Amino acid sequence: MLRAITEFASGMLICWFLNVVQLGVAFVLLASTEKALPSVYVLAAALGLVQFGYVLPIYRLLWRKQRRYSAHGLLTAAFATALANAVIDYHLFGSAMFHFWR
């Protein structure tokens, strides 16, 4: 049982560490040039969506290597981050950000 808890926590930490790295890349782009502002916006404001681009392949890799608890922790952290990101973006930008069709 302790192994399952530590693997689950390690999967969550992997996801959140990669999110911090992604935010670091966004801020380096912002500091380097203003032309990269759309990229910075996508990397920072849409963190919850962009992260699935690297979380899903890592999830599949962990699942195939029989690290199922780590894989579930990774996916749980990704969904928690996506939900938190959506709530924060809604409060910052309002409902206009979520109008995808018009």
Using CA of residue 88, residue 23, residue 57, residue 9, what is the dihedral sign?
A: negative
Structure letter (DSSP) for residue 102:
-
Q: What is the pLDDT of residue 102?
A: 58
pLDDT tens string 4-49: 999 999 999 999 999 999 888 888 888 888 887 788 877 777 888 8
Q: How many domains are contained in the chain?
A: 1
Question: What is the dihedral angle through the alpha carbons of 34, 35, 39, 45, rounded to the nearest 10 degrees?
Answer: 40
Dist CA 49 CA 56 (whole Å): 11
Is the pTM value of this prediction over 0.85? no
Dist CA 66 CA 45 (whole Å): 33
**For residue 93, is pLDDT > 80?**
no
Q: What range does the domain containing 28 cover? A: 2-98
- Average pLDDT value for the chain: 87
- DSSP secondary structure, 86-100, as one string: HHHHHHHH-GGGG--
pLDDT-wise least confident of 2-6, 55-59, 96-100: 96-100
